[in-house]
Amino acid sequence: MEKDKGQMIKRIVIFGLMFVLAGGIALAGSLLYEGDAGARLRDVVMALAGTGIVIFAYILEELEGRFVYRNDGKYARFALMYLGGLAASVLLPWLPVTGWPFLVIFVLLGVFSDGLIGLVAGSVCLLLAVNFAGASFSVFWLYFISGAAGILVFGTLNDEFKVGIPMFLSLMILTLCLTANVILLSGDRLSAAQFLIPAVNLIVSCILLLISLKLFSTAVIHRNREKYMEINDPEFPLLVQLKDKSKDEYYHAIHTAYLSDRIARRLGLDDAAAKACAYYQRIGILRGENTWENVAAICGEYHFPSDTKKILKELVDEAEKIVSRETVVVLFADCVVSSIGYLFEKDPQAKLDYAQLVETVFRKKLETDELWGSEISLAQIREMKKIFVEEKLYYELLH
């Protein structure tokens, strides 16, 4: 309960500050560019209304679990990106409209949240820039369409984060939009000089996207990749120690990790963290009892990623509330593996109805209040149940 309250306070403070600063940036821009009081009021009102919609969309998408690239709860990171976009809208009118790098702004706002939020947030920034520059709405549509395309193609990336094809497609669409909305409508005879600034825009956008996405990939997507590759190796020393301590615990961890990894991947969650937590949720027995104190000590000794420690605490510490979706995945995987192992132990020749077993596990878990307050959605629970049933061939290995 206290964690939920702290999260809510953090959200209110950061988004409240973001709302106020957005109005301040819009006011500064309007004082710089607008001579009419009505136009200044319009800019501020539109910026505040747009920011309010962005905040509402962020909260809604977070509650529904629709974020890409694990953006849940990263309020400050998104707020800084959004305010940076608004600040850019004040500076960009000094450049020719064909040189505005709004494709980069749309894409970054999208990857720091999700497609819907990125589209709304980018549109607010673009609208202010168009108003400040006194540009026609063909300029708005040019960058809106190319920005929407950028968000869509980059939103399809998985954890491998290969940006080649999305980069090519987004820049090609930007080229078409620039040509159709600016160059062809200029009224001048076509010449190489008309393509100079758009060409510079494409080059700058390409460079900025490559640099920004590389930093994002390193800092967010693959932040703990090497560490997860190390600790998720079945031959990692801790797992070898667990195998020497108890072969039953070791193989239980192996099977639970397999299922957790499969489920998390299909649900678009942090599969590496889920797999690690499935491996190490009972690693405390190496120091006696499987208490959180023992698990935490081992995590600290082997420098486990913070996400893993957070999920393990929710799994092991009975006083901790289950919040993370990865925790829920590991919890159900553990229950399914334990149930199948128990039934085969009672009767090695048993012919199990795996679909019915999965249904029973889910029903019993959902009848308790254990998952109340967790971030997982009903849609994800239904999908998780479906995936567990599809794994019936793997369950024979548990025999």
For residue 337, give its domain range: 225-398
- Whether residue 238 sits in one domain with residue 197: no
- Whether residue 389 sits in one domain with residue 266: yes
Lowest-pLDDT range of 145-159, 322-336, 380-394? 145-159
- Whether residue 192 sits in one domain with residue 47: yes
- Whether residue 272 sits in one domain with residue 145: no
> CA–CA separation, 51 vs 261, rounded Å?
37
Q: Give the residue from 81, 87, 92 showing the smallest Cα distance to 118.
A: 81
Last residue of a domain, one of 221, 237, 268: 221
Look at the chain and report how many structural domains it folds into.
2
- pLDDT confidence bin for 221, thresholds 50/70/90: low
- Whether residue 312 sits in one domain with residue 214: no
Last residue of a domain, one of 221, 240, 268: 221
Stretch 284-308: mean pLDDT: 90
What does the pLDDT look like over 341-381, one tens digit per residue?
Answer: 888 888 877 788 888 999 999 999 888 888 888 888 888 99
- Whether residue 179 sits in one domain with residue 37: yes
- pLDDT confidence bin for 290, thresholds 50/70/90: very high
> CA–CA separation, 284 vs 280, rounded Å?
8
> CA–CA separation, 70 vs 221, rounded Å?
8
Residue 191: count other Cβ atoms within 10 Å of its Cβ. Answer: 9
- Whether residue 387 sits in one domain with residue 340: yes
Q: What is the pLDDT of residue 1?
A: 46
- pLDDT confidence bin for 160, thresholds 50/70/90: low
- Whether residue 259 sits in one domain with residue 119: no
Last residue of a domain, one of 167, 202, 221: 221
Q: What is the pLDDT of residue 182?
A: 63
Q: What is the pLDDT of residue 205?
A: 85
Q: What is the pLDDT of residue 222?
A: 63
What does the pLDDT look like over 84-100, one tens digit per residue?
Answer: 999 999 999 999 888 89
Higher pLDDT: 321 or 64? It is: 321
- Whether residue 204 sits in one domain with residue 334: no
Stretch 207-220: mean pLDDT: 75
**CATH number of the domain enclosing 290:** 1.10.3210
Tokens 């494409």 belong to residue: 202
- Whether residue 136 sits in one domain with residue 163: yes
Question: 388-393 long-range CB contacts below 8 Å, 24 or more apart?
Answer: 388/259, 388/263, 388/332, 388/336, 388/358, 389/354, 389/355, 389/358, 391/259, 391/262, 392/354, 392/355
DSSP H helices, 65-190, are: 75-91, 102-111, 115-133, 137-154, 164-178
